[in-house]
């Protein structure tokens, strides 16, 4: 199976679902709303901090991985 096709399909499905949720107008179903709920960013400073650490760590790792800064 071609990984380019698999990743394109996964990303396309995610974008299609996000577009659907944005047009749906129901609250709590977009990726950002689900992420806020998961990390409890509106009610917990621990949740806000956890999100910041996880997101920053992922962004740094992914950038380094794509740019071949480390193996």
Kindly state the average pLDDT of the residues 14-29: 95
Report pLDDT for 25. 86
Tokens of 55: 């997101």
Kindly state the average pLDDT of the residues 12-19: 98
Tokens of 53: 């650490």
For residues 3 and 8, what is the distance between their CA atoms, to the nearest angstrom?
Answer: 8
Q: In terms of Cα–Cα distance, which of 11, 5, 38, 39 is closest to 19?
A: 11
For residues 65 and 20, what is the distance between their CA atoms, to the nearest angstrom?
Answer: 31
Kindly state the average pLDDT of the residues 6-28: 96
Report pLDDT for 70. 82
Tell how far CA 23 is from the center of its chain: 19
Q: Where are the domains of the chain?
A: 3-66
């Amino acid at each position: 199976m071609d990984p380019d096709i698999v990743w394109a399909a996964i990303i396309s499905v995610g974008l299609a679902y996000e577009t659907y949720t944005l047009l749906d107008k129901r609250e709590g179903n977009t990726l950002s709303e689900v992420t806020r709920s998961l990390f409890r960013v509106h009610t917990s400073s621990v949740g806000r901090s956890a999100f910041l650490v996880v997101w920053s760590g992922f962004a740094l790792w992914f950038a380094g991985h794509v740019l071949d800064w480390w193996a």
